[in-house]
Structure 1
Amino acid sequence: MPNSRLYLFSSVLFYLLFFRASLDPILNLTKIGGIGLGALLNLLLVLLFIRVCLKQRFIIPKSFIKVWGCFILVGLISVINSPEKISSLRSFFSILTYWSAFCLSYFFVKNKEDVEHYIKFCIYSSIVPLIFALFEIIFPESSINRNGFRLFGSFSHPNIFAFYLILIGTLCLYSIKSDAFEFSHSFLSHAKLIFLLCVVFLILTKTRSAWLAMAVVLFIYGLFSERKHLGYLVILVFISLLIPSVHDRVTDIFSGPSFDELDIGESLNSFEWRKLVWLASWEYIISKPFLGHGYDTFSYYFLDFFPLQENTKYDAHNAYVQISFDMGFLGLISYMLIFSLILARLISLFRIDKKGAPLIFGLILSYIITSFSDNILFYLSYNWYFWSVMGLFYFYSINIAEGHVE
């Protein structure tokens, strides 16, 4: 791994990305007033990107701006509009780290070996989080809440760990199935073991949106590559539903009344409650439809449009509602443009990797779909890995299309 172009490009970036999935327990201990060493790591990532751009005399690929430019511009304007500018700017800085992670891939992805190295790099970065999870299973007391035992590995929340497991599991399956790359037998044996652990641990996170995301990845792969995997998916779902805790989490979505059928003394399930919140926020959204109320201000205004919740403020648990509220419909359109451009570019992957390409498409689509019910945009450490992987395949696809692959 130290021989990879990523390490030669920047050993600091190499170690920062490799260990970021393992650092949340340490970083959370350093927080004072919501700010800790994690903020310094965010700054470091952005500074690394700026440093590289300076070395290039800011002669940088148009794709850096083409994919992310509109979203970042609208986001900065929304920060100016925010009633809490410092808080909004601090939150929006996370978006700059995602952009940096995406763009930095351009500089260390020049050939097939670079892609192979980075896939192995990401997969092996999961070793420490997986070890954390094994210790949780052995000593489960600290991982029990009102929903029972939920696995969170080295992350600050089970949901973040769950989406990280999907990314790692998908990359493992990609390594095993890909037509374009030939990994060593020893690595493939590791990938199979890690994939199995990812599936088991994903179930133990009890994150329903992540279960759906994994199903989307497997469904897309089965639909476009190997149809027998659709059968495997059905079997996996059936076996999972036989587990009482999984069955209870799934049926809870459909239990209880809808918000328009609610009687006094009854409570809503989590999905119906979220639908009620989204509906309540609509008048605020259309009152500032173009640029929104300010980045990450949904929770700031929450009690104004949802006074039923007493004193607790919440985010939207829906990236599209959150962005529409914070950045207006211009923000939402520019956000969807990011995915549209990436998906359009990755079509060229099918030419050289008919089995592997559907997995990467499934990974992107799972992110898009689960954004309807989760605060996935706020999962910082996971997003570093997700967007760097998106950058990896995006810029590799450009090299393929332009015939620049070494």
Structure 2
Amino acid sequence: GSVNAAAVAGLLVIAMAAAAVFTGEISLRTPLTAVWTVFLGTFAFCIMSGRDPASGIESLLKFGSLASFYLLVYNYSFADRKNARYFLKAIVFSSVIPMIAGVYQFATGTGNTFTPGLNRISGTFVHPNPFAYYLMVVISACVILLYQKSVSGPGAAAVWAVLCIALAELFLTYTRGAWIGAAFTAALTFLRLKDRRKGRWLLLAVIFLAPLIPAVVSRFTGITSTRMEESSLTTRFYIWRNMLAVSVESPLIGHGPGTFGIFARRTIGWLIEAHNEYLRLFFETGLIGLTVYILLVSCALSGMRSGRGGSGNMILVLAPGLFFSFLIMGAFDNIIDNLVSQWYLWAIIAIAQVERRPVREGACRQQVLLPEGGQ
């Protein structure tokens, strides 16, 4: 296989992090450095014993870029708490071009029409699903900035505009997994808020209005069908059942990173990915790789743990729910391949973990996300 644009972008992020470490600009001391190192080392070992080293290296570059992005954001946010606000603003306003593309697709009917009767917008992404997951992260960044009053005046108005458009476009992707994930994130965030009155009416509105929207109902009515052409869930079960039987042939170290699609074409006649990150990791890296990945995400969640209500800090309230939603959605879709969404997700994880630590050794704990103009 050839190294694609995502792998090249990942390599650039890795190079940036390596240069920053080499020059002493950032440190390797983060809550997840050790477990990221173990995971990447396990991944590299599985590549050496795998069937397709080129595809494996491409996957390794993607994971390596996630670790590097996390490392960069963590260090720069820890060094100067204002940087966290800048990173979140960058996530929000970098969405302008993809969302303009989404507006154009909606207005002209040029979105994804593979699903009969639907014009599913995909922005600048190749498919509506990754665009929907990307919008989830953008929406989360907007909520954090607005709740923490980290933007004001025209900046706040711009963030509100991005938030409203992103919510509308999330609906117009018609991505069921992202709808469920967004609702789950909102519910967890609402339950962890110290002052639940601020989110109560919005949550109730979503709950009561959703069943009344015909498009929402139609997207879920056919999911229980036993016909693969009518139900993507039935198709997924077919893939999982057949590929799980192949995965147990090499249960410890798997068949090698990047090989799921190759074996799927041989086994079921489709060049298709797993639509289940845990099955794919088990298939490609075995029980060893899957176990280390579960350890990684567990440590990431633990590193964002806060007291009741996250001390009123929205990033500590929202980030764990957002990450947990992505972990759930990963059981039904190809989440990790959405590189930009994953970069931004791990950036939010890094900022949340910084929030739980002092700004400098021996200093008292302070919020990273100060109001606009805060020192």
- Report the TM-score range of the alignment, normalised by the length of the smaller protein: 0.7 to 0.9
- CA deviation map 1:301-356 (0-9, x unaligned): 11444x3xxx3221110111111111112211211222211221212475543444
Q: How many residues align?
A: 360
Q: 2:312 maps to what in 1?
A: 353
Percent sequence identity over aligned pairs: 23
Q: 1:301 maps to what in 2?
A: 263
Q: 1:125 maps to what in 2?
A: 94
Cα deviation, residue 206, structure 1:
0.9
Question: Letter of the aligned partner of 1:153 in structure 2?
Answer: G
The verdict on how the C-alpha distance between 1:227 and 1:60 changes in structure 2, with shifts beyond 3 A counting, is closer
- CA deviation map 1:249-296 (0-9, x unaligned): 111212x23xxxx7xxx8562112212321222233333222111112
CA–CA distance in 2 between the matches of 1:345 and 1:193? 32
Following superposition of structure 1 onto structure 2, how do residues 93-172 of structure 1 map, counting pairs within 5 Å? 93-109=61-77, 110-147=79-116, 148-172=118-142
The verdict on how the C-alpha distance between 1:62 and 1:246 changes in structure 2, with shifts beyond 3 A counting, is closer
Question: Letter of the aligned partner of 1:298 in structure 2?
Answer: F
Question: Letter of the aligned partner of 1:353 in structure 2?
Answer: G
Question: Letter of the aligned partner of 2:86 in structure 1?
Answer: H
Question: Letter of the aligned partner of 2:249 in structure 1?
Answer: S
Question: Letter of the aligned partner of 1:77 in structure 2?
Answer: F
CA–CA distance in 2 between the matches of 1:177 and 1:128? 24
Cα deviation, residue 388, structure 1:
2.2
Indicate yes or no: 2:46 matched with 1:78.
Answer: yes
Contact preservation (8 Å) 2:26, 2:75: no
CA–CA distance in 2 between the matches of 1:141 and 1:401? 51
Cα deviation, residue 39, structure 1:
4.0
Indicate yes or no: 2:324 matched with 1:365.
Answer: yes
Contact preservation (8 Å) 2:102, 2:124: yes
Contact preservation (8 Å) 1:132, 1:154: yes
- CA deviation map 1:206-233 (0-9, x unaligned): 1111011101111011111154535533
**TM-score normalised to the size of structure 2?**
0.87
The verdict on how the C-alpha distance between 1:286 and 1:231 changes in structure 2, with shifts beyond 3 A counting, is farther
Q: 1:6 maps to what in 2?
A: none
Following superposition of structure 1 onto structure 2, how do residues 242-253 of structure 1 map, counting pairs within 5 Å? 242-253=212-223
The verdict on how the C-alpha distance between 1:182 and 1:36 changes in structure 2, with shifts beyond 3 A counting, is closer
Indicate yes or no: 2:346 matched with 1:387.
Answer: yes
CA–CA distance in 2 between the matches of 1:230 and 1:292? 46
CA–CA distance in 1 between the matches of 2:347 and 2:219? 32
Q: 2:248 maps to what in 1?
A: 286
CA–CA distance in 1 between the matches of 2:291 and 2:362? 31
Question: Letter of the aligned partner of 1:337 in structure 2?
Answer: L
Cα deviation, residue 97, structure 1:
1.0
Cα deviation, residue 135, structure 1:
1.4
- CA deviation map 1:125-171 (0-9, x unaligned): 11111111111122223543234211111112211110111001111
1:338 is aligned, of 288, 292, 296, to 296
Contact preservation (8 Å) 2:188, 2:321: yes
Following superposition of structure 1 onto structure 2, how do residues 310-329 of structure 1 map, counting pairs within 5 Å? 311-329=269-287
Mean Cα deviation higher: 317-326 or 132-141? 132-141
The verdict on how the C-alpha distance between 1:71 and 1:36 changes in structure 2, with shifts beyond 3 A counting, is closer
Indicate yes or no: 2:234 matched with 1:272.
Answer: yes
Cα deviation, residue 187, structure 1:
2.4
Following superposition of structure 1 onto structure 2, how do residues 192-271 of structure 1 map, counting pairs within 5 Å? 192-225=160-193, 226-228=195-197, 229=199, 232-254=202-224, 256-257=225-226, 269-271=231-233
Cα deviation, residue 46, structure 1:
1.2
* Higher helix content, 1 or 2: 1
CA–CA distance in 2 between the matches of 1:237 and 1:34? 46
The verdict on how the C-alpha distance between 1:174 and 1:233 changes in structure 2, with shifts beyond 3 A counting, is same
Question: Letter of the aligned partner of 1:373 in structure 2?
Answer: F
The verdict on how the C-alpha distance between 1:365 and 1:73 changes in structure 2, with shifts beyond 3 A counting, is same
CA–CA distance in 2 between the matches of 1:158 and 1:267? 19
The verdict on how the C-alpha distance between 1:357 and 1:106 changes in structure 2, with shifts beyond 3 A counting, is closer
**TM-score normalised to the size of structure 1?**
0.81
Mean Cα deviation higher: 335-344 or 226-235? 226-235
